[in-house]
Amino acid sequence: MAELRKIAIVGSARIPFARAYTGYADQSNLTMLATVLGGLADKYGLKGQSVGEIMGGAVISHSRDFNVAREAALDAGLSPRTPGTNLQIACGTSLQAALNLGAKIATGEIDSGIACGTDTVSDSPIVFGTKFQHRLSDLNRARTPQEKLAAFSGFSFGELTPVAPSTQEPRTGLSMGEHCELMARQWGISRQAQDELALASHLNAARAYDAGFHDDLIVPCAGVLKDNNVRSDTSLDKMAAMKPAFDKTSGQGTLTAANSTPLTDGAAGVLLASEDWAKAHGLPVLAYLTYGQVAANDFAHGDGLLMAPTIAISQMLARAGLTLQDFDLYEIHEAFAAQVLSTLKALEDTEYCKTVLGRDAPLGSIDRAKLNPKGSSLAYGHPFAATGARILGLAAKQLATVGKGRALISVCTAGGQGVTAIVERAA
């Protein structure tokens, strides 16, 4: 068997993220992703060129999005010989795509690939209930006037009520926010601690913008030039005035619109390659993707819905022979401030690490100054499938800017899963 090759992170691109129903109200998953891939193609000289594979997808999608990775590659001007593969693992979609493509690069199956994700809440599919859907199917198959009339026998106008998109977990009936409220209570996460983390995210993101950090990462789309959720003028007093968003009746709700990610539209992608491919194309290597891990928990029977990244982190560190403190940067996706704080608290908890992670001692604490120093999802927003690629590209650039170091990436997902990765600076 041939020796495994290093997985180089060459660069990334994303469109600005926009709160739902604002800048991208008229855009689709396809147009947003094609803009990202086109931006990568322009940036790295890939127009008309064949890339080993485009892999990614969307969480909220229409039936027309069944082949969005392939169609976006064609719209972006890549060679028609570039294959596209759709993949979806909720919020971990584009990071999982990077791990999959990385494995193919490492084994020599491909020399390059783009991991990507796109999501739009503004263009969510609106569907009818099952009864009316069946009527339409019967109508489509009907051949005679009598069969067409029979398809609507017993029809009532109530059947036309659309089924609204939902973030409820099918196995519990609870939304992600409601699940996170339970996690906040279990781990004793206060409202103030959540607001403080959210404030830090906004201020860090604003400083990154002011410093020009995002200038070469963002591709304008539909007239949108920058993320429209970053609030440089927010404060703890403003956040404290917000009412609970998920638990509105018990008087114990701590999750608000200020310390939770907003519904967001956007797309992002990361270019991965072998070292030889990067060298042949005259492209520098920002960093290397060295480890990845996916894990899941039994959230339907008491495990915290968004706690699976703790399992993935523990397993990945064991494989890598590293401790939690062996990192210069921690990029933890901020689905909710309470989720990040619950994760950090669990990693410090002796009992949790013993019973859930199977460790003799807790993984310990991290240096908070190294946590999301450029801001994260609470500030930028969270287009579900795009977030992993945003974080991976951000982490690689940060390490390249410093010229050294190692980053731990963690993304929680719906369905009680977590996707994690380790990125190391190019030598």
Give the torsion sign (CA, 386, 21, 167, 340).
positive
Which residues have a Cβ under 8 Å from the Cβ of 292 and sit 6 or more positions away? 95, 98, 99, 102, 316, 419, 420, 421, 422
CA distances from 89 to 18, 134, 294, 346, 421 (A): 22, 29, 10, 24, 15
Select which of 116, 221, 353, 412 is catalytic: 412
Q: What are phi and psi of 329, to 5 degrees?
A: -155, 135
Active site residue 91: yes
Q: What does the radius of gyration of the chain's CA atoms come to, in whole angstroms?
A: 22
Residue 308 CA from chain centroid, whole number = 15
Task: Indicate which residue of 179, 214, 333, 382 is catalytic.
Answer: 382
Write down the catalytic residue from 62, 91, 116, 179. 91
**Which amino acid does the sequence have at 372?**
N
Nearest-angstrom CA–CA distance, 40 and 76 = 9
Distance CA 292, CA 322 (A): 13
Tell which residue, 8, 29, 9, 15, has the closest CA to residue 268: 15
Inter-residue contact 12 to 397 (CB < 8 Å): yes
Question: Residue 76 burial by CB count (10 A; 0-12/13-18/19+): exposed, middle or buried?
Answer: buried
- Cα dihedral angle (416, 379, 17, 244), rounded to 10 degrees? 60
Residues carrying an active site annotation? 91, 382, 412
